Amino acid sequence: MLLDGEPVLLLCSNNYLGLAEDRRVREAAADAALRWGAGAGASRLVSGTMTVHRRLEQRLAAFERTEACVLFGSGYLANQGVLGALAGPGDVIYSDRLNHASIVDGCRLSRARTFVYEHCDCDHLSWALERGRPEGAGAVIVTDSVFSMDGDDAPLAELAELAERHDARLVVDEAHATGARGPGGRGAVADAGLEDVVDVVVGTLGKALGSYGAYACADRSTVRYLINRARPLIFSTAPPPPAAAGALAALEVLESEPALPRRLLANAAVLRTALTGEGWTNLPPDTHILPLIAGDAADAVRLCERALDGGIFAQAIRPPTVPEGTSRLRLTVMATHTASELRAAARTLAGVARELGVLAPTAGREASPAEPPATAAPQRTAITA
């Protein structure tokens, strides 16, 4: 991309599959603008519902293998709407410590009591559920499926088991998994075979699907309930037709090109292997989100600026988006990167990180007990691009 007129390699976009600039997606959005207009003109519940919204909802329900689907203005609004509708004062929401800010705010909006369990810690969650809840109180467990800032996975199967055992609803936010995980990019819930178990799947159209807007998929009665209770849906204008049509086209591209998500993960393996070879440790496996922890916020900013001088655009992520002391460059891989771009990026990033003392000077160049030697064959087998 061009950043202030300078060509740089983009390593911090959520447009994971490059669909935002796919010709078919752009044309569908442009056609929709000409055919249906720039905006929907009203809330879905008044006069804003258009053919393209219905089509997209049907298509998304089929994609997620659920009975029904309802669109929201954005993922942020979807989490406000779903949590606000499913829980109220007197209920309890159990939320992972590293859940996305839109989930945190959704918990607040619901006015339910919120129990924050330690990150991916099912023992902690189980302990809280065992303690019970007031007579008549409903319970909701909510989690990101792929965590936005760390790239790691929620223990979905265990969460589903706990939800079942304690009669709690399970809401899973697939913002970073849709288009990136599972069979045909159908997400982490599909990957775990939990489509029939998860109560509500939230997804965004703004990341891998390259558009804007979001959705909640569930059984028919839950979706009907959301339509009648989710305030960010009821009291807000329906998504613009070009955004909905763009997302619909992106979904068609994804379904016709199952190699796209595979390419994304193959690229992620290339970058992870290159970074590991340069001495970065603790990178999460099998994910397209690779955090390079700098620690201090100022160090993360310096790392970002120096990387930019080297032609790499990876934005510094600081508190409150991430916990204090874990400021980082959150690298995100795209299916449209080439392997050589990613290897060169790893070299550049390692070079500036060593200069700044964020990465040990010779790390990765010597075999340590914790790490295989740089020539170890197993790492290379990950490269399939």
Residues within the interface to ligand PLP (CB under 6 A):
74-76, 79, 100, 102, 144, 148, 173, 175-176, 204, 206, 214
Query: Buried b vs exposed e over 155-166: b needs ≥16 C-beta within 10 Å?
Result: bbeebbebbeeb
Active site residue 207: yes
At 327, give phi and psi (nearest 5°): -55, 150
Q: Tell me whether residue 302 or residue 330 sits nearer to ligand PLP (CB atom).
A: 330
Options 53, 100, 207, 337, the catalytic residue: 207
Cα–Cα distance measured from residue 19 to residue 324, given in angstroms and rounded to the nearest whole number: 34
**Nearest to ligand PLP of 13, 126 (CB atom):** 13
Find the shortest distance in angstroms from Cβ 25 to ligand PLP.
16
Helix axes 297-309, 339-355, angle to 10 degrees: 130
Residue 262 Cα distances to 64, 86, 148, 170, angstroms:
18, 35, 19, 28
In the complex, minimum distance from the CB of residue 175 to ligand PLP, in angstroms, rounded to a whole number: 3
Closer residue to ligand PLP in complex, CB, 205/294 = 205
Rounded to the nearest angstrom, the gap between the alpha carbon of residue 262 and the centroid of all alpha carbons in its chain is 17
User: Does the CA dihedral 153-67-108-332 come out positive or negative?
Assistant: positive
- The catalytic position among 100, 176, 288, 337 is 176
**Assigned token pair, 17:** 């599959």
- List residues bridging with 184 in a β-sheet: none
SS3 call for 292: strand
User: What is the closest distance, in whole angstroms, from the C-beta atom of residue 164 to ligand PLP in the complex?
Assistant: 23
CB of 11 to ligand PLP, least distance (A): 17
Q: Which is nearer to ligand PLP, 250 or 270 (CB)?
A: 250
C-alpha dihedral over 5, 349, 151, 190, to 10 degrees? Answer: 70
3-state secondary structure of 203: strand
Q: Is 77 or 162 the residue whose CB approaches ligand PLP more closely?
A: 77
| Closest separation in Å from C-beta 145 to ligand PLP | 8
- For ligand PLP, which residue has the nearest CB? 75
In the residue annotation, 176 being an active-site residue is answered as yes
Residue positions annotated with a catalytic role: 148, 176, 207
